[in-house]
Chains A and B, each alone.
Chain A
């Protein structure tokens, strides 16, 4: 099945230790997004790639970076995780922005910072 796959499902990292979350897709969608969702809150967009163009949301902390080496993969790098970065991180894809067909989401990676 064509889908969006996030690894790992659960990630535990130490305070201040860099961590990378990964997302891959078999849909050949040209847009990929990273969302952060904290408990009982709405998913919050961090950034997205439209093809190779990176677009950062204005309030995304500098601590968060992203890489998209090819169409299929996108990574979320947290350079120095703090306790406040513990959250569910959702990867999503769309074709040309998703107006017609919406987004396809991965299952998420739950990040714990200790």
Chain B
């Protein structure tokens, strides 16, 4: 069975400080990993995908298969990064249903 664990419900950092949101997963197979973000009063939206190895808004995430982790990182947090962040995984075929973690609410303190 698949599982996505985000151990921190709340995370506060000061503006300009590094930020890391943790995500661990379990999946029987090779999953695709994603980070979704929900800003205040906005819809849930894709932030970045493991498959594309991209950096979006200064965020990066590296898939560590040995540790089954997909932590989200940013070297210098900005106030506009304050949001709810969800780690999610899916399979690679079919409808690729997304399974979400419980989310981490990030607050960047000015």
Q: Do A and B come from one complex?
A: yes
In Å, the complex CA distance between A31 and B44 comes to 17
A100 at the A/B interface (Cβ < 8 Å)? yes
Let me know if B101 and A98 touch, CB within 8 A. no
In Å, the complex CA distance between A82 and B53 comes to 43
Q: How many A-B residue pairs have CB under 8 A?
A: 65
Let me know if A40 and B102 touch, CB within 8 A. yes
Interface string of B23-56 (1 = CB under 8 A from A): 0000000001010100000111110010110000
Q: Which of A15-23, A41-49, A70-78 contacts B (4 or more CB under 8 A)?
A: A41-49
In Å, the complex CA distance between A104 and B45 comes to 7
A26 at the A/B interface (Cβ < 8 Å)? no
Chain A residues with Cβ below 8 Å from B44 are 43, 90, 92, 105
Let me know if A31 and B45 touch, CB within 8 A. no
Count, chain A residues at interface, CB 8 A = 28
A66 at the A/B interface (Cβ < 8 Å)? no
Knowing A48-B95, A55-B95, the reply to whether A97 touches B102 (Cβ < 8 A) is no
In Å, the complex CA distance between A102 and B56 comes to 14
- Quote the shortest CB–CB distance from A98 to chain B (angstroms): 6
Let me know if B4 and A100 touch, CB within 8 A. no
State which of B36, B92, B99 has its C-beta within 8 Å of the C-beta of A99.
B92
Residue of A nearest to B41 (CB): A107
Which residues of A are in contact with B by a Cβ distance under 8 Å?
4, 31, 33, 40-45, 48, 50, 55, 57, 90, 92, 94, 97-108
A-B complex: 7 closest residue pairs judged by Cβ atoms: A97-B96, A102-B46, A42-B100, A105-B44, A42-B102, A107-B43, A50-B95
Which residues of B are in contact with A by a Cβ distance under 8 Å?
4, 9, 32, 34, 36, 42-46, 49, 51-52, 86, 90, 92-103
Given contact pairs A41-B102, A48-B97, enumerate 19 new A-B contacts (beta carbons under 8 Å): A33-B95, A40-B9, A40-B102, A42-B86, A42-B100, A43-B44, A43-B86, A44-B100, A48-B95, A57-B97, A94-B96, A99-B90, A99-B96, A100-B52, A102-B34, A102-B49, A104-B46, A105-B44, A107-B42
